[in-house]
Structure 1
Amino acid sequence: MYEYLTLNYTQQQQKDLIEQWYQHLDEVFTQTPKEYFVQHHENDPSRQQNVIFIATDLSTKKIVSTVKLFTREMFINGDKCKVAGIGEVSTKPEHRGQGLSSKLLEMAHQYLTNNGYMLSFLFSNKYSAMYHSKGWSYVHRDITVEDVNEKIVPESDGHSLLLERMDTIDSTTLESYFQILVEQKPIDQQQGSIVRSIQYWKEWIIHNVEPHSKGTIGWVAKDSSTNTIVGHIITSLYGENSDTMAVKDLGSIHNKTQQNTCIKTLIKLTIRQYQTCLLNNQSIKYVQYPSPLLITSVLGGEQTHKLDKSMMVRLCASNNNSVPSSSTTCESLFPLDSVIYWDIDKL
């Protein structure tokens, strides 16, 4: 027999209970260190609105299954809409096959519907068929993969930008730049992108790059004439030989006419940093970024497109002006040619 509970922020402050939840996640996700979940929870800027659903075994009083809601705002049709990400879906092996996750997922969906959320979203590859059967729809993201057609990207490309690692910049300077991004949002108002407050930048973004998150590097671009930050890029390497640079986030405070040039320069400079400083001249063969970001190539290399099929969405309420009618589908809300959900925002 099981008991199902909904934990609000006040209940999450109970030290014994939250520690038991951390321990549960550590036991289920054996390849992920417990500290990851602690940081994931405590550095979430929306933690006071986040909700955790748990199932406990009545015989042992132990947590055996959980689902967590991460509350967010998302740009949909130009409006800021109340949404929630789903994460920490976990059931202990000996309690699987009894519908515990399904029950908790439905509790979460009902909670969101009752509280005026527009939709929920999640990311999954291995269990996407299960989520699809429970009501979540696939939202494909178009990713451009471009060949890096030069072994070393030229140091000088007619620009005046200097690239520095984000973790070497003092917090006051970074916060001033983040504040400009929050006020201007030059790139981020793309369909499906997360609305970022200054608190979100300081807590979520910063804690998802080095030194807090190994392998994901944040960079800032400074104007060499003024020494002010004018853009940033967050990247990581992946692939069998770590030869693909993935752009996980990118921003610029330039106006639209200058934005494309700045974006391309940021990507080029970052490739050069990897190849000359971080990889001992090992070659970066490919760079990938969301296709709606640019309409022309970065390096002039051959381009291919791939579909990222890991994102899934389920509508909760249709009383928002951004949703035309109850017949609106997730696919129509997130057209392939305009969706940018940055990987740095993944739950």
Structure 2
Amino acid sequence: MEFRALHPEELEPWFDHVGHVFSTSRQYFVNHWEGDPWKDPAGIRVAVDKGKIVSTLRVFSRAMFLHGEHVSMGGIGEVSTLPEYRRRGLATQLLKDAIRFMEEREIALSSLHGSQRIYSVEGWESVQRHQAMQHFSRRESTAWTIRPADFDSQNELAQIATLYDNYSRKFNGAFVRDNLAYWTDWVKTESPDAWVAEKSGKLEGYIAVAGKLSVEEFAVSDAQFSQDRGKQLFEAMLGHIIAQKDAETLEVEYAAPIADGFNAPKVHTYGGTMYRVINADKMPSRDALPALLYHQPAYLTQGLQSHHIFWPTDNF
């Protein structure tokens, strides 16, 4: 059994492997590869038996906001083993291999979505996220013009990216999106139901939603945030979207740290995000997990129970 990085010429067989093991569309994994401006074949770690890929995982090269700073992050995803090769410790060996890879690349932190014991054994720790559930009613805004986002407009995309950057850095865990190609190739594909709130030709809010109805991501201008953490604008945008869905009232799920989420009628915890410090000297704080993700330095403190956010749009 050989454990190594994927060779570039093995990309098509790798797509076949993950599509087969996950029993989902092969195109999903192709999109995650082609839409990723930071893709790196060396980040795909494989176990190969007699020339055949039998187990794999992918290290997604990202940066995330942590204590207001950009921190390099390796996301572990697409962990998959052929059924006939399971219970042989291949995934464990690939995780160890991925840790060495991230150490060599001087990546500060790693995250993944899961709760299996295999991850905690190798050093990943679960950090809870808080989700709010609340009913909102249809309404038409008189303060803002709310309309679908235009990702094909470079000017609008730049405004959205600025809103996102200024807002998301107030929390811990959101990904840095400093490459506009990520917006056009990944975000547009993963969260196509996106809206903006405009006033006097300037964007003051951005939201992406899915299903019926969950918030995939949200951002407001600093001016709106300073008033009420963006609560009025958040409610106005949801009210407009609900009206467009021809509904009167819908229950909405969203990240509790945004707007007034911690005061919603229902707040529940979600423990499926795990983190592992890879290179401690690259971290902005020596705090241990989970406090590292919950707390912010004084200048970013908002009096919240937790500052930990992950936008589902960035899921891998």
Relative to the length of structure 2, the TM-score reads 0.87
Deviation at residue 137 of structure 1 after TM alignment: 0.6
Letter in 2 for 1:281: A
Match of 1:249 in 2: 217
**Counterpart check, 1:162 vs 2:124:** no
8 Å contact kept, 1:250–1:263: no
Separation of aligned partners in 2, 1:113 and 1:164? 44
Separation of aligned partners in 2, 1:311 and 1:122? 6
Query: Map of 1:67-106 to 2, 5 A cutoff?
Result: 67-106=57-96
Match of 1:47 in 2: 39
SS in 1 for 2:29: helix
Match of 2:196 in 1: 220
SS in 2 for 1:330: coil
Query: Map of 1:190-209 to 2, 5 A cutoff?
Result: 190-199=171-180, 200-209=182-191
Match of 2:300 in 1: none
SS in 1 for 2:282: coil
SS in 2 for 1:338: coil
CA RMSD of aligned residues (A): 2.4
8 Å contact kept, 1:56–1:65: yes
Separation of aligned partners in 1, 2:59 and 2:225? 39
8 Å contact kept, 1:141–1:339: yes
Of 128, 143, 148, the residue aligned with 2:131 is 143
Q: Cα 1:259–1:315, aligned 2, differ >3 Å: closer, same or farther?
A: same
Match of 1:236 in 2: 210
Separation of aligned partners in 2, 1:307 and 1:174? 34
**Counterpart check, 1:294 vs 2:259:** yes
Match of 2:309 in 1: 340
Match of 1:28 in 2: 21
**Counterpart check, 1:186 vs 2:179:** no
Q: Cα 1:192–1:329, aligned 2, differ >3 Å: closer, same or farther?
A: same
SS in 1 for 2:257: helix
Match of 1:133 in 2: 121
Deviation at residue 282 of structure 1 after TM alignment: 6.3
8 Å contact kept, 1:64–1:95: yes
Q: Cα 1:122–1:116, aligned 2, differ >3 Å: closer, same or farther?
A: same
Of 77, 88, 109, the residue aligned with 2:99 is 109
Match of 1:121 in 2: 111
Q: Which runs of 5+ in 2 are unaligned?
A: 295-304
1:144-170 deviations in Å (ceiling 9; x for gaps): 22233xxx43324xx42122122x564
Q: Cα 1:28–1:271, aligned 2, differ >3 Å: closer, same or farther?
A: farther
The alignment covers a number of residue pairs equal to 305
Query: Map of 1:267-278 to 2, 5 A cutoff?
Result: 267-274=235-242, 276-278=243-245
**Counterpart check, 1:57 vs 2:49:** yes
Q: Cα 1:187–1:78, aligned 2, differ >3 Å: closer, same or farther?
A: closer
Of 260, 265, 273, the residue aligned with 1:303 is 265
Q: Which runs of 5+ in 1 are unaligned?
A: 211-216
Deviation at residue 111 of structure 1 after TM alignment: 1.3
Separation of aligned partners in 2, 1:261 and 1:185? 13
SS in 2 for 1:105: helix
Letter in 2 for 1:105: L
SS in 1 for 2:158: helix
Work out the percentage of aligned pairs sharing the same amino acid.
26
